[in-house]
Amino acid sequence: MTPDPHQLAAEIKQFARQIGFDLVGIASAEPSHYRDYLRQWLDDGKADTMDYLGARFAERVDPQQYVPGAASVICVAMNYYAPLEQNKDPGNEPRGRIARYALGDDYHELIKQRLWRLADWLRQRVEGAITRACVDTAPVMEKELASRAGIGWMGKNTCIINPHIGSWILLGEIITSIELPIDQPQLDRCGTCRRCLDACPTQAITEPYQLDARRCISYLTIEHRQEIAEELQPAFGSWLYGCDICQEVCPWNHKAPYTDEPAFSPRFADGQIDLQTVLDWSADEYAGALKGSAMKRVKLPVLKRNARTILENQTQTSR
């Protein structure tokens, strides 16, 4: 017997929260409303070397192309905002900052395991149901789906912002053949604020809600494998891996609650790492220090490139 869709949706949300997701909402599996925008964004070269974003374009902009028979998308989010210790002995050794999402264990594995558990539970509740669990490596428009599911609204910095947690959230989805009642999207509450645009040191946020990856510190320190354009290097500051500036200045993050998820506890307690340590790492030392971390997305030569860029910036500043 197929359960009542409204009752099932309530049970899905209850179980999702029970297994550790902070937010959960449901969107339809209809095609993306941003298909033409994404196509133009890719054609303009704003993805730079991220060719994978266009490689499965038809699937990315239409969940039913990715999962035939898809009717609904269950969207979840986890708060990763963990407290950082103040460095009590800063000394003179230069240090590089790491984006908060990468300080704990690799969120891909954590979220996938929980999504699989939710998907298994769902298939037990509804015989013959199709499910596909997705994190950010899957060809889905996860921020649009999260917005449609009421997880939060798309901020001017292109991050999803929840009114209670802010934008310190990681997303996941289950695309399913079960037709479920959909949730109402969140209203955009950015208003006239433009702090993220004004704070971005490379002007990567070219207009509200529009990001040019070619100028984004997060992209350049993680995805970009070649040398970084000279005119952008001075703006890097001390960011070794990723960048949180547009989130740090966002008013919705000023009172963000800390996560209670142990897996997100920072492996570098103050969110920074000694740059000379990075430059001296052997391949084995790199693998050991970053075991189980999302930071392994960046190979050692690129991480060392980033460290050299920061040191050069500091040398220039001190002259």
Query: What does DSSP say about strands 153-154 and 160-161: parallel, antiparallel, or unpaired?
Result: antiparallel
CA dist., res. 129 & res. 119, Å (int) = 9
Query: Are 144 and 33 spatial neighbours (Cβ–Cβ below 8 Å)?
Result: yes
48: left (phi over 0), alpha (psi -120 to 50) or beta: left
Q: Which residues contact 86 (CB under 8 A, 6 or more apart)?
A: 270
Tokens of 89: 């002995």
Residue 4 known to be catalytic: no
d(CA 129, CA 293): 33
Rounded Cα distance between 183 and 162, Å, is: 15
Catalytic residue among 136, 188, 270, 274: 136
Rg (the chain; Cα; Å): 20
Beta bridge partners of 207: 210
CA angle 30, 35, 40 (to 5 degrees): 175
Residue 43 neighbours by CB distance under 10 Å:
10
The residue assigned the tokens 């970084």 is: 228
Q: What is the largest CA-CA distance in the chain?
A: 75
Question: Positive or negative CA dihedral for 215, 218, 221, 225?
Answer: negative
- Alpha carbons 53 and 242: distance in angstroms, whole number: 19
DSSP H/E element including 121:
helix 107-125
Q: How many CB atoms lie within 10 A of CB 107?
A: 22
- Known catalytic residues are 136
